[in-house]
């Protein structure tokens, strides 16, 4: 089948063919009629091929062989339906064509290839063991798409209850559609009975010692009932919280203080009065706790950062005080600091190499840079045009404002002693008034005596023009 990526370009065939024909008809070719017609046909064919190429012509042949990947959700929420998933896949394999290829992916928190894509598949039950505490359907769809070949009809069959708590399966399905991969979904049969579960536990991946943070728990229950939440740090019980579950999703936060430095596991368990599946009543989150942050404070003059140092030390932050020469000239030397503070430090005392290191420290490592003002920093400190200026969110250039001063004009209009219909003096005066702004002032004199119009701001040009027209200037 012939297809085009940009079929609208085919509309060019009409004007192009007309132009080619008119040019051929008006040309006096010294050839017999048959050869002239052959020349026309060749030219039309040539331009047709060029336009088809521009339109992205492609010839595709139907492919009968298909490749199918079954994605089975074997997370904790589908524990009671796992036998249904395995049985459904086994039954579907009996209808496989002789040339078809089949693969199987198991998904929980992560996705694993249960069986690679091949023609002969022997499957009875899942042998893979992904993390069942979470469900990331998007990961399973991505892995299934990755193992599908491009020389066959591609299809993915997802068997799941749809209760994902990681990733975005809908967005992944849209990407599959753009790639021409068919996605079929087999919903799992619902189970009867009361059910309560933990859908997620969120914690910051990185913490500092004594840092306060929130541990976010997502819970679901299909009946209103009493329950008990238990929070563990590693193997120690931190809290036991009696609560009342309502119907639907709910969230509970724990406000905690970061534990000592090291890797730690926070684990939440749910004990409900009415529950069918106990395997989904637990969730865990892992955090890395680092020691107190180290901040390098560079003082331009001794004592310039005294207030900053006192404020940082009051929050248990480790402060290292130094001079501009103590700023490392390599990123490795700065990597151990969470932030650098420049207290009234001029650019000349840092030098280009250290300023370039500070710029890379902010740009590449994403660390903090604080610059305090003073008589030796920012513009007066010579930051303009340096790498330090580029690292800061401010410009050292002083804006140049051009102020136009206001003016005051006295117009003296004399009699021209001419009977022409146009009084050139009056028209010239009105032209001057038209060039003035409301901030300017103008006064009008008739040549002698007092002013016809006193000095005033040009706020009403029409009234001033009327005064000019009505005056009778003297010699």
**Which pLDDT belongs to residue 419?**
62
Per-residue pLDDT of 286-311, as tens digits, reads 999 988 888 999 998 898 889 999 99
pLDDT attached to residue 422: 63
Mean pLDDT computed over 20-39 = 79
Could you give phi then psi for residue 458, rounded to 5 degrees? -85, 75
For residues 333-360, average pLDDT: 91
pLDDT at 268 over 90: yes
* DSSP per-residue letters across 219-287: EEESS-EEEEEEEEETTEEEEEEEEEEPSEEEEEEEEEE--SSEEEEEEEEEEESS-S-STTSEEEEEE
User: What per-residue confidence (pLDDT) applies to 371?
Assistant: 92
Query: How many other β-carbons are positioned within 10 Å of the β-carbon of residue 384?
Result: 15
Residues 6+ apart with CB under 8 A from 333: 357
pLDDT band, very low/low/confident/very high, at 191 (cuts 50, 70, 90): low
For residue range 116-126, list pLDDT tens digits in order.
Answer: 888 888 888 88
Least confident of 31-45, 145-159, 226-240, 355-369: 31-45
Domains contained in the chain, CATH given = 2-59 (no CATH), 66-187 (3.40.50.410), 196-290 (2.60.40.10), 294-391 (3.40.50.360), 408-470 (no CATH)
pLDDT of 31 > 80? The answer is: no
The yes-or-no verdict on residue 341 having pLDDT over 90 is yes
Say what the pLDDT of residue 232 is. Answer: 94
Lowest mean pLDDT among 54-68, 168-182, 252-266: 54-68
What tens digit of pLDDT does each residue of 87-107 get?
A: 888 888 888 888 888 999 999
* pLDDT tens per residue, range 426-443: 888 888 888 888 889 999
User: What's the confidence (pLDDT) of residue 11?
Assistant: 85
Q: Which of 9-13, 60-64, 226-230 has the highest mean pLDDT?
A: 226-230
Q: In what order do the strands lie in the sheet with 111-118?
A: 111-118, 101-107, 66-73, 153-160, 182-187
pLDDT of residue 162: 82
User: Is the pLDDT reported for residue 64 higher than 70?
Assistant: no
The mean pLDDT of 205-218, rounded to a whole number, is 88
- In 88-163, which ranges are E strands? 101-107, 111-118, 153-160
Residue 399: pLDDT band (50, 70, 90) is low
Statement: the pTM of the whole predicted model exceeds 0.75: no
* pLDDT band of 378, cuts 50, 70, 90: confident
Q: What is the pLDDT of residue 135?
A: 86
Q: Which two tokens stand for residue 256?
A: 């905690």
pLDDT-based confidence at residue 420 (cuts at 50, 70, 90): low
pLDDT band at 190 (very low <50, low <70, confident <90, very high): low
Distance CA 447, CA 158 (A): 99
- The span from the CA of 137 to the CA of 162, in Å, is 8
**Quick check: 216 and 199 in contact, CB under 8 A?**
no
Q: Which long-range contacts (CB under 8 A, 24 or more apart) does 304-307 make?
A: 304/343, 304/344, 304/345, 304/372, 304/374, 305/341, 305/343, 305/344, 305/372
Residue 398 has pLDDT above 70, yes or no: no
DSSP per position, 416-470: -----SS-HHHHHHHHHHHH--TTSEEEEE-SSSSEEEEEEESS-HHHHHHHHHH
Helices then strands, each counted (H, E), the chain: 11, 22
Tell me which of 157-161, 214-218, 364-368, 450-454 is least confident. 450-454
| Alpha-carbon separation of residue 202 from 3, 252, 284 (angstroms) | 49, 11, 8
Q: Looking at residues 200-228, what average pLDDT do you find? A: 89
pLDDT exceeds 60 at position 392:
yes
* Residue 430: Cβ-neighbour burial (10 angstroms; 0-12, 13-18, 19+): middle
Would you list the DSSP string of 180-192?
A: T-EEEEEEPPPPP
153-180 tens-digit pLDDT: 889 999 888 888 788 888 888 988 888 8
Q: Which two tokens stand for residue 181?
A: 């991969």
Averaged pLDDT score across all residues of the chain: 86
């Amino acid at each position: 089948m012939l297809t085009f990526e940009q079929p609208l370009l085919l509309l060019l065939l009409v004007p192009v063919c007309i132009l080619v024909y008119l040019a051929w008809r008006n040309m006096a070719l010294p050839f017999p009629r048959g050869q002239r017609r052959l020349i026309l046909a060749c030219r039309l064919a040539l331009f047709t091929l060029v336009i088809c190429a521009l339109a992205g012509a492609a010839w595709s042949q139907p492919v009968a062989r298909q490749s199918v990947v079954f994605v089975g959700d074997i997370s904790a929420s589908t524990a009671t339906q796992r036998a249904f998933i395995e049985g459904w896949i086994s039954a579907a394999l009996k209808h496989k064509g002789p040339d078809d290829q089949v693969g199987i992916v198991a998904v929980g928190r992560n996705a694993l290839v249960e069986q690679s894509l091949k023609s002969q598949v022997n499957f009875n039950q899942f042998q893979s063991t992904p993390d069942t505490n979470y469900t990331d359907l998007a990961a399973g769809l991505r892995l299934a798409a990755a193992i599908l070949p491009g020389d066959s009809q591609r299809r993915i069959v997802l068997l799941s209850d749809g209760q994902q708590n990681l990733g975005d399966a809908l967005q992944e399905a849209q990407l599959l559609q753009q790639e021409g991969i068919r996605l079929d979904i087999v919903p799992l049969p619902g189970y009867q009975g009361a059910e309560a579960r933990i859908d997620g536990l969120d914690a910051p991946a990185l913490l500092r010692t004594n840092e306060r943070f929130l541990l976010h728990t997502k819970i679901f229950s299909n009946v209103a009932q009493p329950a008990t939440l238990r929070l563990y740090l590693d193997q120690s019980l931190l809290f036991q919280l009696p609560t009342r579950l309502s119907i639907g999703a709910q969230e509970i936060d724990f406000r905690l203080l970061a534990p000592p430095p090291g890797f730690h596991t926070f684990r939440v368990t749910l004990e409900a009065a009415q529950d069918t599946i106990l395997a989904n009543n637990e969730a865990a989150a892992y955090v890395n706790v680092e020691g107190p942050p180290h901040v390098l404070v560079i003082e331009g003059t001794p004592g310039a950062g005294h207030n900053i140092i006192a404020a940082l030390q009051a929050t248990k932050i480790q402060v290292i005080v130094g001079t501009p020469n103590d700023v490392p000239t390599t990123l490795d030397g700065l990597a151990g600091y969470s932030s650098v503070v420049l207290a009234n430090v001029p650019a000349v005392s840092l030098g280009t190499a250290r300023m370039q290191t500070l710029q890379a420290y902010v740009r590449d490592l994403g660390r903090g840079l604080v610059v305090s003002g003073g008589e030796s920093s920012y513009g007066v400190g010579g930051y303009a045009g340096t790498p330090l200026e580029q690292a800061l969110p401010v410009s050292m250039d002083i804006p140049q404002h051009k102020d136009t001063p206001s003016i005051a004009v006295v117009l003296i209009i004399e009699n021209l002693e001419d009977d022409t219909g146009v009084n050139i003096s009056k028209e010239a005066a009105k032209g001057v008034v038209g060039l003035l702004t409301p901030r300017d002032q103008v006064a009008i004199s008739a040549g002698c005596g007092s002013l016809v119009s006193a000095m005033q701001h040009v706020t009403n040009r029409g009234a001033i023009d009327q005064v000019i027209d009505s005056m009778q200037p003297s010699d």
